[in-house]
Amino acid sequence: MHGNPMPDSYVYVTEEGVTRHYADGSVEALAWEDVVEVRVVTEPGADVLYILLDRDGEGCVVPRSATDATFLARLRYLPDFDLDRLTVAAESVHDGVVVVWRSPDPPSALPDLEYD
């Protein structure tokens, strides 16, 4: 077979939310109205991950390589979202997780998550 291989996953961004479809058929989805936290995960040599979480700590992992202007523009609708803070965190050379936005009315605590 010729051509590009099947991607590991792909992401859809709509006015209602964001959905990531994995090659194994699994799906992560989150409505924008349910997003209470946005995290950035960086590791040298790996794709930057944007983690969108709901009140229960469930959410959607979005690789930066799968984002476009639509995703970034939609993040700006979150109350007081700072796109510059997201950019700085995503360009960090350090390993780690940075919370770049939290809802003005967040849950008391969100779990620490493990990332692949």
A 10 A CB-CB count for 60 gives 20
Q: What is the mean pLDDT of residues 29-35?
A: 96
Q: Would the pLDDT of 7 be above 70?
A: no
CA-to-CA dists, residue 90 to 24, 42, 50, 62, 81, angstroms? 27, 7, 9, 12, 15
Please give the pLDDT value at position 8. 74
Indicate the pLDDT class of residue 1, thresholds 50, 70 and 90: very low
Task: Return the CATH fold of 9-102.
Answer: PH-domain like (2.30.29)
Is the torsion defined by CA of 91, 105, 11, 43 positive or negative?
positive
| Per-residue pLDDT tens over the stretch 37-69 | 999 999 888 999 999 999 999 999 999 998 889
| Per-residue pLDDT tens over the stretch 67-116 | 889 999 999 999 999 999 999 999 987 889 999 999 987 655 555 555 44
